[in-house]
Amino acid sequence: MQTLADIGEDALIRRLVAGLKLDSSVIAGPGDDCAVVLPPARNEHLLLKTDSVVEGVHFTAETPPRLIGRKAMARVISDFAAMAATPRHALITLIAPPTTTVKRVIEVYAGLRKMAELHGVNIVGGETSRGDQLIITVSMTGIAPAKGWLSRNKARAGDTLWVTGQLGGSIRGKHLRFDPRLAEAHWLAKHLPVTAMMDLSDGLSKDLPRMAASCGLGYQLAFEKVPKSRGCSLTQALGDGEDYELLFALSPHALADGLSLWKQTFPKLKLTCIGQLVADPRQADLTSGGWEHFR
Amino acid sequence: MQTLADIGEDALIRRLVAGLKLDSSVIAGPGDDCAVVLPPARNEHLLLKTDSVVEGVHFTAETPPRLIGRKAMARVISDFAAMAATPRHALITLIAPPTTTVKRVIEVYAGLRKMAELHGVNIVGGETSRGDQLIITVSMTGIAPAKGWLSRNKARAGDTLWVTGQLGGSIRGKHLRFDPRLAEAHWLAKHLPVTAMMDLSDGLSKDLPRMAASCGLGYQLAFEKVPKSRGCSLTQALGDGEDYELLFALSPHALADGLSLWKQTFPKLKLTCIGQLVADPRQADLTSGGWEHFR
């Protein structure tokens, strides 16, 4: 089978970018030193995020290549969801051994492109280099109303803590096939008094303490309420990671109508209250578990 | 010596971002799901670029870590120079084996940060993951006047071809210590009738055919005029790559005053006319050489 070494960089790139769908915001796509795009509107902020998937860490040699690309793109879109923002333009960095088949790379890009198109993301450029293992890095810009984006650090003591969906067991397949909660996040920001939000990528036991710490708060977690994926223990729900669900804090007033409207709008995705934020930052029950990159 | 595995991701990131210098365009820097920055002005375009340096390809285990960071940042700034644009905000992706010493990574970041500060670039976030070899990816945004940026594809037949500086032999040290030609590129765009520009990263023998092809043109290269670094053969000047000099095309009128003003402004950096673009795209003398990533 044809490898990257057989066809070389320029021919590879021509194949990867052929027929890319670009909207009218793209002035110059792949092929120049930089991509050129229209700026956000005056009342919007520009958001930036980068993320990588690494062979042997986020996927294996056996992972279907389309799902590798799908995951690489969806992980970053999930970060824009976490801020109630809209992803817009992406750059793709491909690191691969020269022995990688062209077919594998083309399929990785098919997965990247399909997920990008689904969410209105333009792939406007990228970079390739050889390396010892396959790594896909997606760098993305997005936009949000200057007064309408959500950080993870603005919650107050007494705000309740919520998650979408079920946690744990992602390795059984969800980590490759999850849908970024973009529509759900925009809905929440519009209809509920969300005071902080993030996406759960390293596991609740790692991400909840991060959110509380960045608010300067502690938390009470109602362990028995943590929604567990089918067949998962509490330990798995807290520590497996790669849930790509939303964790958010709600101001404790005017909730009932919003929650009932949520059920009508997203009948298949449960919202669960799992505890609350408290004033004392030392009140923190989760001291271990979750994904640690360097251990 | 302390390794990444010893301190873990969160502690590492706290050390890497401590004391980052951020200007007033940064609304939210490292620590949230995305960075948030002010958008470009209404009459500006947004430019995007990503680039990686890989251990064993762009540097070695023996390269001083500050120079690894310096190079990673300078390569991307060089791409903004190529478009006469101004780099603004950067995200850093760090892939590293868990056995990497914390000291090495801190020094890589010191190199990244110093080069960024020198050119007014804000480091606003990033990502870390483990991997088999050290890889630094820098993703950057920049701005340029909507009517003032330079592409590589707008030159016409008869335009003359120019390079800054000398070519070849970069591996002897320049590839780690080059200064991106940002000020020079802005000066050229302002004072001379530049019709196309790019930076020379893969070698003239690879990059000149790329520029000509994206203009739909051929070229005549005056091989004897190619400026060679001291001790370098023509083959090296054409093929070594990593020169990070500017290659540009000039409309063939009104040059004399501009060229003499260049000599006064940048007395240490020579401009050399190395040929011209021609109408027939089949006229192309460079058929081999230059850096090929996958061979």
Give A221-258 pLDDT, tens digit per residue.
999 999 999 999 999 999 999 999 999 999 987 677 88
Say how far apart CA A50 and CA B52 lie, in whole Å. 13
Q: Find all residues with CB under 8 Å of A164, minimum gap 6, and list them.
A: A181, A184, A245, A246, A269, A270, A271
CA distances, B194 to each of B182, B185, B223 (Å): 15, 10, 22
Query: Which amino acid, A223?
Result: F
Bridge partners (DSSP) of residue B132 are: none
Say how far apart CA B184 and CA B261 lie, in whole Å. 12
Q: Is the pLDDT of residue A291 over 70?
A: no
Residue A280 DSSP one-character state: -
Q: Find all residues with CB under 8 Å of B5, minimum gap 6, and list them.
A: A294, A295, B98, B99
**N-terminal to C-terminal alpha carbon distance within chain A:** 36
Q: Which pair of structure tokens corresponds to residue B156?
A: 């016409």
Evaluate whether A27 touches A129 at the Cβ level (below 8 Å). Answer: no
Bridge partners (DSSP) of residue B145 are: B44
Say how far apart CA B67 and CA A104 lie, in whole Å. 34
Q: Is the pLDDT of residue A137 over 80?
A: yes
A-facing residues of B in 204-223 (CB < 8 A) are 210, 214
Which chain B residue's Cα is nearest to A80? B34
pTM listed for this prediction: 0.95
CA atoms within 13 A on the CB side of B161: 27
Partner-chain contact A36 B5, CB within 8 Å:
no
Evaluate whether B204 touches B35 at the Cβ level (below 8 Å). Answer: no
Other Cβ atoms less than 10 A from the Cβ of A280: the count is: 10
Pairing verdict, β A86-96 and A122-130: parallel
Q: Would you state the pLDDT for residue B148? A: 87
Nearest CB neighbour to A98, from listed B44, B46, B294: B294
Q: Which pair of structure tokens corresponds to residue A163?
A: 């998650």
The reply to whether A9 touches chain B by the CB within 8 Å rule is: yes
Say how far apart CA B188 and CA B262 lie, in whole Å. 8
Evaluate whether A276 touches A222 at the Cβ level (below 8 Å). Answer: no
- 3-state SS, residue B36: strand
CA distances, A94 to each of A122, B51, B167 (Å): 17, 10, 28
Q: Would you state the pLDDT for residue B293? A: 66
**Contacts with B9 from chain A: Cβ below 8 Å:** 292-294
Supply the mean pLDDT for chain A: 94
Q: Which pair of structure tokens corresponds to residue A22?
A: 């670009």
B-facing residues of A in 96-125 (CB < 8 A) are 96, 98, 124-125
Q: Which pair of structure tokens corresponds to residue B256?
A: 């004399």
Burial group, residue A260, by CB count within 10 angstroms (0-12, 13-18, 19+): exposed
How many secondary structure helices (H) and strands (E) does chain A include?
8, 11
Segments in chain A forming alpha helices (H)? 4-17, 65-82, 102-118, 174-177, 182-191, 204-215, 234-239, 256-265
Partner-chain contact A137 B133, CB within 8 Å:
no
Say how far apart CA A207 and CA A291 lie, in whole Å. 10
Structural domains present in chain A? 4-145 (3.30.1330.10), 160-278 (3.90.650.10)
- Report pLDDT digits (tens) over A69-127: 999 999 999 999 999 999 999 999 999 999 999 999 999 999 999 999 999 999 999 99
Q: What is the pLDDT along chain B (295 residues), one digit of tens a residue?
A: 899 999 988 899 999 999 899 999 999 999 899 999 999 998 999 999 999 999 999 999 999 999 999 999 999 999 999 999 999 999 999 999 999 999 999 999 999 999 999 999 999 999 999 999 999 999 999 999 999 899 999 999 999 999 999 999 999 999 999 999 999 999 999 999 999 999 999 999 999 999 999 999 999 999 999 999 999 999 999 999 999 999 999 998 767 788 899 999 999 999 999 999 999 999 987 766 666 667 6
- Report pLDDT digits (tens) over A144-181: 999 989 999 999 999 999 999 999 999 999 999 999 99
Q: Find all residues with CB under 8 Å of B118, minimum gap 6, and list them.
A: none
Q: Find all residues with CB under 8 Å of B237, minimum gap 6, and list them.
A: B166, B167, B168, B204, B226, B227, B228, B229
Say how far apart CA A222 and CA B61 lie, in whole Å. 48
Partner-chain contact B31 A131, CB within 8 Å:
no
CA distances, B104 to each of A225, A262, B63, B70 (Å): 43, 49, 11, 13
Q: Is the pLDDT of residue A293 over 70?
A: no
Q: Would you state the pLDDT for residue A287? A: 64
Say how far apart CA A103 and CA B139 lie, in whole Å. 27
Nearest CB neighbour to A9, from listed B27, B151, B293: B293
Partner-chain contact B54 A95, CB within 8 Å:
yes
